[in-house]
């Protein structure tokens, strides 16, 4: 009996001396593009918990999360796909799956991870647990010998992914219900040079921004038989288009209530669109060419950052007043913003100042500044529960 008590006591002491248990709901990562590393952050403590290195070329990197928020899947420019364990702060698995990659998505059930590739053009789909390749969808178009860059990849309900083909001017929906035999629906002639895409928070509509012409392409995923249609055609008619120094980004974060707030290509404006009719209902002048136009989770504010030469500032739009109500200067080269899960704070990366700045979204007060090496994308685990993120 004494021996049994000794064993139990040893086990108890061992458990007490181990790492403290914690959840993942207030964790996230910040891409450190210059060093090929990610900083693991705690949004409650506003602190950096540690770093994970060895992720390759992160000059244009993005991330999605496992359903439980423990693992981040980081897509690097070098074609690397890295599964990062946030709790142990280490690489769980890493593969090189392409020559040039710019992003990815995770399926509704969390079982599949998809990467969109520039070179070779197409989408590859992997088992989220093992990163085993399950499907390869080449983005062949025309005579079948040409391959397009893939952009705007997003998850939609039903183990499906939707994405756009830049050179081909097409939108594809891939059904991965049977992962090794994907079924692809193609919408052709959707417009010139789709550059990115967003899915509305309900998963119904996919919108591809068009770089080669004024307007956007929309597909109603609940009624795919209707095909793709153009919205906001000729929004820049009669005005000279400015040189575009940085391509804007589109995602479901642009939707606030019954309106979408979209960056206008080559213009210093945010377009306001009714999501029932998909008609333009307003324009909001801003300081520069918008890159990220992001709604606070409650939809009351829209935060906007800009391309060069205005990329040291951020503006805040009040959605009731439909105008800019605040201009902030977080630092040099603001590349990305991310709201905490309920939106009381926003984290902003200032690449050339090597810092992350945290603002209170009600008072606009600076809450914290954290050191980071050339920070760019900021991705919190709350994305795991959102469609199209």
- Answer yes or no: do 148 and 210 share one domain: yes
Residue 353 lies in a domain: no
- Answer yes or no: do 236 and 101 share one domain: yes
Name the pLDDT band for 241 (thresholds 50, 70, 90): low
pLDDT at 339 over 80: yes
Q: Which of 241, 275, 296 is the last residue of a domain?
A: 241
The reported pLDDT for the residue numbered 333 is 95
Q: Which of 214, 241, 268 is the last residue of a domain?
A: 241
Name the pLDDT band for 3 (thresholds 50, 70, 90): low
Query: What 8-state DSSP symbol labels residue 4?
Result: H
* Span of 114-123, 235-244, 367-376 with lowest mean pLDDT: 235-244
Residue 297 lies in a domain: yes
Q: Which residue, chain included where needed, has tokens 């897509």?
A: 75
Among left, alpha and beta (phi > 0; psi -120 to 50; other), residue 276 is alpha
List residues bridging with 360 in a β-sheet: 345
Name the pLDDT band for 235 (thresholds 50, 70, 90): confident
Residue 159 lies in a domain: yes
Residue 362 lies in a domain: no
The domain total for the chain is: 2
pLDDT at 24 over 70: yes
- Answer yes or no: do 229 and 270 share one domain: no
pLDDT at 97 over 80: yes
Domain span holding position 290: 247-329
Name the pLDDT band for 242 (thresholds 50, 70, 90): low
Domain with residue 279: its CATH number is 2.40.10.480
Query: Exposed (0-12), middle (13-18) or buried (19+): which is 17, by Cβ within 10 Å?
Result: exposed
The reported pLDDT for the residue numbered 7 is 46
- Provide mean pLDDT across the span 279-285: 96
Residue 139 lies in a domain: yes
Domain with residue 110: its CATH number is 2.130.10.10
The reported pLDDT for the residue numbered 20 is 84
- Answer yes or no: do 216 and 115 share one domain: yes
- Answer yes or no: do 262 and 202 share one domain: no
Q: What angle do CA 149, 76, 175 make, to 5 degrees?
A: 55
- Answer yes or no: do 235 and 276 share one domain: no
pLDDT at 379 over 90: yes
- Provide mean pLDDT across the span 122-135: 98
Residue 73 lies in a domain: no
The DSSP line for 205-262 is EEEEEESSSSSEEEEETTSGGG-EEEESTTTTTTSPPPP-SS-----GGGEETTEEEE
- Answer yes or no: do 209 and 277 share one domain: no
Taking the alpha carbons at both ends of the chain, their separation in whole angstroms is 56
- Answer yes or no: do 114 and 195 share one domain: yes
The reported pLDDT for the residue numbered 11 is 47
Name the pLDDT band for 18 (thresholds 50, 70, 90): low
How far apart, in whole angstroms, are the C-alpha atoms of residue 276 and residue 77? 36
- Answer yes or no: do 281 and 232 share one domain: no
Name the pLDDT band for 374 (thresholds 50, 70, 90): very high
- Provide mean pLDDT across the span 51-79: 96
The reported pLDDT for the residue numbered 382 is 97
CB 176 within 8 A of CB 137: no
**Paired tokens of 388:** 């199209």
- Answer yes or no: do 147 and 281 share one domain: no
Global pTM reads: 0.93
Q: Which of 241, 259, 287 is the last residue of a domain?
A: 241
The H or E element that residue 9 is part of is: helix 2-17
**Paired tokens of 291:** 């890159």
Q: How high does pLDDT run on average in the chain?
A: 93
Residue 115 lies in a domain: yes
- Answer yes or no: do 199 and 272 share one domain: no
- Answer yes or no: do 269 and 319 share one domain: yes
Name the pLDDT band for 239 (thresholds 50, 70, 90): low
For 277-292, b/e burial (b = at least 16 CB within 10 A) is ebeeeeebebebbbbb
Residue 358 lies in a domain: no
Rounded to whole angstroms, what are the CA distances from 102 to 182, 260, 343? 22, 24, 27
């Amino acid at each position: 009996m004494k021996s049994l008590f000794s064993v139990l006591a040893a086990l108890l002491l061992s458990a007490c001396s181990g790492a403290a248990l914690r959840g993942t709901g207030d964790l996230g990562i910040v891409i450190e593009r210059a060093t090929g590393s990610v900083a693991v952050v705690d949004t409650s403590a506003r602190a950096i918990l540690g770093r994970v290195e060895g992720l390759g070329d992160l000059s244009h990197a993005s991330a999605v999360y496992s359903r439980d928020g423990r693992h981040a899947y980081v897509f690097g420019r070098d074609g690397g796909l890295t599964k990062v364990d946030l709790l142990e702060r280490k690489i769980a698995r890493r593969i090189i799956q392409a020559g040039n990659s710019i992003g990815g998505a995770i399926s509704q059930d969390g079982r599949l991870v998809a990467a969109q590739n520039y070179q070779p053009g197409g989408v590859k789909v992997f088992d989220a647990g093992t990163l085993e390749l399950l499907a390869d969808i080449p983005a062949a178009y025309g005579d079948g010998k040409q391959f397009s860059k893939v952009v705007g990849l997003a998850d939609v309900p039903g183990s499906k992914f939707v994405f756009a083909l830049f050179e081909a001017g097409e939108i594809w929906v891939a059904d991965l219900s049977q992962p090794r035999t994907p079924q692809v629906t193609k919408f052709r002639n959707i417009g010139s040079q789709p550059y990115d895409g967003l899915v509305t928070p309900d998963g119904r509509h996919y919108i591809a921004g068009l770089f080669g012409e004024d307007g956007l392409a929309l597909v109603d995923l609940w009624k795919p038989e209707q095909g793709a249609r153009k919205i906001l055609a000729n929004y820049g008619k009669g005005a000279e288009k400015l040189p575009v120094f940085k391509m804007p980004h589109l995602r479901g974060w642009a939707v606030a209530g019954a309106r979408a707030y979209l960056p206008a290509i080559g213009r210093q404006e945010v377009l306001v669109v009714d999501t029932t009719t998909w008609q333009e209902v307003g324009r909001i002048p801003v300081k520069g060419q918008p890159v990220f136009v992001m709604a606070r989770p409650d939809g009351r504010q829209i935060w906007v950052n800009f391309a060069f030469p205005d990329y040291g500032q951020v503006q805040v739009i009040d959605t009731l007043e439909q105008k800019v109500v605040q201009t902030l200067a977080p630092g040099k080269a603001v590349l990305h913003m991310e709201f905490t899960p309920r939106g009381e704070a926003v984290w902003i990366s200032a690449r050339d100042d090597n810092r992350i700045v945290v603002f209170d979204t009600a008072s606009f007060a600076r809450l914290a500044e954290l050191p980071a090496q050339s920070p760019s994308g900021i991705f919190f685990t709350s994305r795991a529960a959102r469609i199209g993120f």
